[in-house]
Amino acid sequence: MIQDAQALAGKIATLEGLRDVIRTMKALSSANLRQSEATVDSLVSYDRTIELGLHTVLRDEPLAESATRTHKLPPGLIAIAFGTDYGLCGRLNQSLVEHTIKQLEQAGVPKDARHLIAVGSRIATHLADAGQSVDRRFQTPASSDAIVQTIERLLTDIDQLREQTGIERVWLFYNEYTLRTGSHPVTEHLLPVDSQRLAHVRQISWPGRRLPTYSLERQQLLASLVRQMLFVALTRACAQALASEHQARLLATQAAERNIQEALEQTSAEHRMLRQQAITAEILDVISGYEASSVPPP
């Protein structure tokens, strides 16, 4: 009985230590989730600024033919999948891989014409397990502050792949996080630039009374604004993927904490019961010894 009590005491100490680790992970996931949400919110206002700049450039002149390609595109495609580097995220990576491959197959893109860039070691592994080769791999940003560096490297690699392969289509695959519905895989067409969006931007109303003007050469300014629009789209995808990861890990750690707490309560109850039994047995031994010593000799 003493050995059983000692084993339970050791199990309780292990569970308490594990609970502390899980609580720390939960706090980190919660803080990182709030940071990612703030990044996504800030991108909304920045994207609005880019749209107003595009409106200024596009309002008086028609779009250049190169800005909105309408001819049939070649079958090749550059796909960027934003996953995770670490686990404890449920089926976040698996679901995104299934969604990515399904979208590529529905688009009729042959396997040998797919050029995948994986952001996250785990998503790269899942893509390889699904029979899809990965051209380039990136680590996920360690924080929202590190997203810009990752996106700059991504833009450089995209430009290099487009020059090497002549492929014009670039699609983004990531898990989009929303407060109400949680995370779900989405597809975003990065290139060619969406002509419908540019047409919409051209028609929006200027928020002030005075119309702005610009001094740079029109095509140069337009190219710069379009690149900023692509930068915002990539940054938003990366921030959404990080928010989805932290939300999935937060849910996982919350469930783990509940399970550990239940196991800890059950183990503590068993330990208290064994201790009570041991104390009761010792008391009975003392009483029995006292009664035996009280009996007069024959």
Question: What pLDDT, in 10s, does the model give residues 92-115?
Answer: 999 999 999 999 999 999 988 999
Q: Return mean pLDDT, the chain.
A: 86
Burial class (CB in 10 A: 0-12, 13-18, 19+), 275: middle
44-55: per-residue pLDDT in tens? 889 999 999 998
pLDDT of residue 118: 96
Whether the full predicted model's pTM is greater than 0.85, yes or no, is no
Report whether pLDDT(5) > 80: no
Place of tokens 């990612």: 36
Q: pLDDT band at residue 67, thresholds of 50, 70 and 90?
A: very low
Q: pLDDT band at residue 216, thresholds of 50, 70 and 90?
A: confident
SS (H, E, C) the chain: CHHHHHHHHHHHHHHHHHHHHHHHHHHHHHHHHHHHHHHHHHHHHHHHHHHHHHHHHHCCCCCCHHHCCCCCCCCCEEEEEECCCCCCCCCHHHHHHHHHHHHHHHCCCCHHHEEEEEECHHHHHHHHHCCCCCCEEECCCCCHHHHHHHHHHHHHHHHHHHHHHCCCCEEEEEEEEECCCEEEEEEEEEECCCHHHHHHHHHCCCCCCCCCCCCCCHHHHHHHHHHHHHHHHHHHHHHHHHHHHHHHHHHHHHHHHHHHHHHHHHHHHHHHHHHHHHHHHHHHHHHHHHHHHHCCCC
Q: Nearest 5°: phi and psi at 179?
A: -65, -35
More confident: 196 or 231: 231
Q: How far apart are CA 232 and CA 246, in angstroms?
A: 21
Percent of the chain with pLDDT over 90: 43
pLDDT of residue 72: 60
pLDDT of residue 290: 61
pLDDT of residue 295: 57
pLDDT of residue 75: 75
Q: pLDDT band at residue 2, thresholds of 50, 70 and 90?
A: low
Q: How far apart are CA 212 and CA 220, in angstroms?
A: 17
Q: pLDDT band at residue 4, thresholds of 50, 70 and 90?
A: confident
Tokens of 81: 């999948």
Q: Nearest 5°: phi and psi at 257?
A: -65, -40
Q: pLDDT band at residue 215, thresholds of 50, 70 and 90?
A: confident
Q: pLDDT band at residue 89, thresholds of 50, 70 and 90?
A: confident
pLDDT of residue 262: 92
pLDDT of residue 66: 43
The CATH-assigned architecture of domain 28-251 is 3-Layer(aba) Sandwich (3.40)
Paired strand residues for 290: none
Q: pLDDT band at residue 82, thresholds of 50, 70 and 90?
A: very high
**CATH 1.10.287, domain 2-27+253-294, yes or no:** yes
More confident: 74 or 33: 33
Can you give the residue ranges of every domain in the chain? Answer: 2-27+253-294, 28-251
Place of tokens 């999948």: 81
Report whether pLDDT(182) > 90: no
Report whether pLDDT(121) > 50: yes
Going by C-alpha positions, the residue among 29, 150, 10 that lies closest to residue 80 is 150
